[in-house]
């Protein structure tokens, strides 16, 4: 049943030797790795205006210089990551670059920041996509759809999770169409809007309910400008994704990744500046009454509410929902690197049936769903948490590249070190601004969570080190020959499922088998004693008293007693277990056997199950 459902949702397994066929070309990789960065233009301008509106209508004009400063930062950071791609063609994410050049602790800080940011990427992108859907529904006369934003977001997370479990190549094809539809829609809106404004003038946005924006609000101070700048820096989230996934590209990997990164930065800067310009000329502002997005306001003003407006809104909603795919591409990969280095459980380094890191995908889907529920699918409320993690990784990664250039001193290293140094300095300044301006608005949660994650990483690593030391053959000696082998068969009664277990026990310990029964019901115990004479296979039966109706404690005490008799024997506890024919029939029986096995294995006892399959 479960296997069939898995095949329907995920697809047939892919052989390991076909892994190279799952590589991505530049067009598909742009959709897979750039959807997060490109989709951020749909809310980055709105994030700037949400802060500037606190200063009243006179402050809204500052959106243009602030956007220009962010665009300059985008170009510098993007060019810095081109250096990273060529330096680490095997995949140079923030964790690998930082750990390789600055050490374990900075590397773990970068890894923790990125893991948090990827979870937020999914939650914010999905929530913003739902906002685009509800904005479209509001203009079509269905404002109540906003009340179901959380449910819609959870369904979207489930869909994206399943799509990624199907494999990188297949999910990349699914996500290519919405990505290129969004790019074409936004670029068309920008070109048509600017041309129309130059020829006929810009019409102001008309609101069904006018927003409450006073001419003057808070004092227009440096603090307000820095807050707006920090809010708009969400436009930079996701630009490191290509450097994380270089090995997902077709050969030559580094060259194809660098070309894709350049194309992504060019599109990102163009669309971000274009949307900000149109928002300024058409006087689009956040509306706390209608919750209509800035992109929706601009598209409605330029195209009306006809087919082109609908196309842009649907494309925006789809890319925002599917922008989560960037995190689904990078979170499992980063988790596999951490797992390989023994900082996360080893399960994260295992590939699933479709050659993807399934455990990382499932954990990311679950964590992002929890965030959506906590924040009620409100992307603006999550944005203060969003950029802190990624700028932490930016700063550490670029600092690591500077250290690498100074250490290796390859040809042209002065120029490369200067580029990465500028990138590290600027992202470090932005990080400080983000932490200061957004601390009380939620950034404190990320700042607190990162060191907690680092402590978890180190605790996991210490555990694996202890395990390796204790399992090492260094100084080990061969164990002496066993003096005896003891088999203990735990029985809950006498039936057909017990007989094979008794036979198996005799095969491994012909002269030293004991059946053990815990007396929980005197009448049932008396019946068992009578039937044992005929069906016990001449194996002695030991009945353990349990005045407090405990099942496991009497068994553990008996095993300790048997172990104390000989110091060099091996005790094997045998559990007869019948297996129902249908999966749901397991729910009709208690899980006593599982509890017993868990308790015995925790104390180091050898446990063997002898199954007896029931017919349908």
* Domain locations in the chain as residue ranges: 22-464, 485-613
User: What HEC string does 110-167 produce?
Assistant: HHHHHHHHHHHHHHHHHHHHHHHHHHHHHHCCCHHHHHHHHHHHHHHHHHHHHHHHCC
- Report the predicted TM-score, pTM, of the whole model to 2 decimal places: 0.75
Structure-block tokens of residue 484: 């005896």
Peptide bond into 252 cis (omega under 30): yes
Q: Check residue 29 and give its pLDDT.
A: 84
Which of 186 and 171 is assigned the larger pLDDT? 186
Query: Any long-range contacts for 59-65 (C-beta under 8 Å, 24+ apart)?
Result: 59/217, 59/220, 59/224, 60/280, 60/283, 60/285, 61/280, 62/220, 62/225, 62/228, 63/228, 63/276, 63/279, 63/280, 64/276, 64/277, 64/280
CATH number given to 485-613: 3.40.50.620
Q: pLDDT-derived band of residue 160, with 50, 70 and 90 as boundaries?
A: confident
Average pLDDT on 441-451 reads 88
Residue 336: count other Cβ atoms within 10 Å of its Cβ. Answer: 19
Cβ proximity of 307 and 153 under 8 Å: no
Q: pLDDT-derived band of residue 2, with 50, 70 and 90 as boundaries?
A: very low
Q: Check residue 590 and give its pLDDT.
A: 67
Angle (CA) 279 80 316, round 5°? 30
Q: Check residue 15 and give its pLDDT.
A: 41
Cβ proximity of 77 and 423 under 8 Å: yes
Distance CA 560, CA 544 (A): 13
pLDDT in tens, 66-117: 999 999 989 988 888 888 888 888 765 788 889 999 999 999 999 999 899 8
CA distances from 497 to 84, 494, 611 (A): 62, 8, 7
DSSP state of 479: P
- What percentage of the chain has pLDDT greater than the value 90? 26
Average pLDDT on 577-602 reads 79
Among 490, 536, 478, which residue's Cα sits nearest to residue 517? 490
Cβ proximity of 86 and 258 under 8 Å: yes
The fold of the 22-464 domain, in CATH, is Amino acid/polyamine transporter I (1.20.1740)
Residue 407 reports pLDDT greater than 80: yes
pLDDT in tens, 24-45: 788 888 887 888 788 888 888 9
Residue 415 reports pLDDT greater than 50: yes
Which of 204 and 454 is assigned the larger pLDDT? 454
Sheet with 513-519: list strands edge to edge. 541-545, 513-519, 485-490, 570-579, 606-613
Cβ proximity of 205 and 49 under 8 Å: no
Average pLDDT taken over every residue of the chain: 83
Distance CA 344, CA 518 (A): 41
Residue 11 reports pLDDT greater than 60: no
Average pLDDT on 190-218 reads 80
Going 340 to 345 to 350 to 356, the CA torsion angle's sign is: negative
Q: Check residue 17 and give its pLDDT.
A: 43
Q: Check residue 214 and give its pLDDT.
A: 62
Among 119, 132, 120, 126, which residue's Cα sits nearest to residue 150? 126
Among 126, 147, 143, which residue's Cα sits nearest to residue 135? 143
Q: Check residue 181 and give its pLDDT.
A: 92
Least confident of 178-192, 215-229, 397-411, 464-478: 215-229
Structure-block tokens of residue 272: 């971000």
Asked if domains 22-464 and 485-613 share a fold, the reply is no
Residue 493: count other Cβ atoms within 10 Å of its Cβ. Answer: 14
Average pLDDT on 533-551 reads 85
pLDDT in tens, 43-53: 889 989 988 88
Q: Check residue 297 and give its pLDDT.
A: 92
Residue 20 reports pLDDT greater than 80: no
Q: Check residue 306 and give its pLDDT.
A: 86
Least confident of 248-262, 303-317, 455-469, 571-585: 571-585
């Amino acid at each position: 049943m479960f296997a069939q459902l898995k095949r329907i949702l995920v697809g047939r397994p892919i052989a390991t030797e076909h892994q190279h066929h799952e590589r991505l070309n530049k067009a598909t990789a742009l959709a897979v790795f750039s959807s997060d960065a490109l989709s951020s233009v749909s809310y980055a301008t709105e994030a700037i205006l949400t802060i500037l509106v606190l200063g009243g209508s006179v402050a809204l004009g500052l959106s243009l210089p602030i956007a220009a400063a962010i665009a300059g930062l985008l170009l510098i950071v993007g060019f810095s990551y081109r250096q990273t791609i060529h330096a680490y063609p095997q995949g140079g994410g923030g964790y690998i670059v930082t750990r390789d050049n600055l050490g374990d602790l900075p590397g773990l800080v970068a890894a923790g920041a990125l893991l948090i940011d990827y979870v937020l990427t999914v939650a914010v992108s999905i929530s913003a996509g739902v906002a685009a859907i509800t904005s479209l529904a509001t203009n079509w006369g269905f404002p109540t759809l906003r009340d179901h934003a959380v449910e819609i977001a959870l369904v979207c997370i489930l869909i994206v999770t399943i799509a990624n479990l199907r494999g990188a190549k297949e999910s990349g094809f699914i996500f290519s169409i919405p990505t290129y539809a969004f790019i074409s829609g936004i670029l068309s809106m920008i070109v048509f809007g600017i041309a129309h404004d130059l020829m006929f003038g810009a019409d102001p946005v008309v609101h069904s309910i006018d927003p409450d924006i006073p001419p003057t609000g808070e004092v227009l101070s440096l603090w307000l400008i820095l807050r707006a700048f920090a809010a708009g820096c969400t436009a930079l989230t996701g630009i490191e994704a290509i450097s994380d996934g270089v090995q997902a590209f077709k050969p030559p990997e580094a060259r194809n990744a660098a070309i894709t990164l350049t194309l992504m930065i060019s599109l990102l800067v163009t669309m971000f500046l274009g949307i900000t310009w149109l928002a300024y000329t058409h006087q689009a502002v956040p509306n706390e009454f209608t919750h209509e997005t800035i992109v929706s306001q601009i598209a409605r003003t330029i195209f009306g509410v006809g087919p082109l407006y609908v196309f842009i809104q649907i494309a925006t909603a789809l890319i925002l929902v599917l922008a989560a795919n960037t995190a689904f591409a990078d979170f499992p990969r980063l988790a596999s690197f951490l797992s390989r280095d023994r900082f996360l459980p080893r399960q994260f380094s295992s590939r699933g049936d479709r050659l993807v890191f399934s455990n990382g995908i499932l954990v990311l889907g679950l964590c992002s769903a929890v965030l959506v529920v906590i924040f009620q699918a409100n992307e603006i409320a999550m944005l203060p948490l969003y950029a802190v993690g990624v700028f932490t990784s930016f700063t550490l990664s670029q600092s690591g590249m500077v250290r690498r250039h100074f250490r290796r001193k390859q040809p042209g290293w002065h120029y490369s070190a200067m580029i990465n140094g500028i990138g590290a300095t600027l992202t470090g300044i932005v990080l400080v601004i983000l932490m200061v301006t957004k601390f009380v608005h939620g950034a404190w949660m990320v700042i607190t969570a990162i060191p907690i994650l680092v402590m978890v990483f180190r605790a996991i690593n210490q555990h694996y080190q202890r395990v390796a030391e204790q399992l090492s053959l260094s100084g080990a000696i061969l164990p002496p020959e066993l003096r005896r082998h003891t088999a203990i068969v735990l029985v809950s009664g006498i039936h057909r499922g017990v007989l094979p277990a008794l036979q198996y026990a005799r095969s491994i310990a012909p002269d030293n088998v004991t059946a053990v029964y815990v007396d929980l019901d005197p009448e049932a115990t008396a019946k068992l004693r009578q039937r044992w004479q005929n069906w016990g296979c001449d194996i002695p039966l030991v009945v353990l008293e349990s005045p407090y109706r405990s099942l496991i404690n009497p068994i553990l005490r008996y095993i300790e007693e048997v172990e104390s008799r000989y110091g060099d024997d091996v005790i094997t506890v045998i559990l007869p277990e019948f297996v129902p024919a249908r999966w749901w029939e397991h729910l009709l029986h208690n899980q006593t056997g599982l509890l017993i096995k868990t308790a015995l294995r925790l104390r180091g006892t050898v446990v063997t199950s002898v199954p007896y399959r029931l017919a349908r």
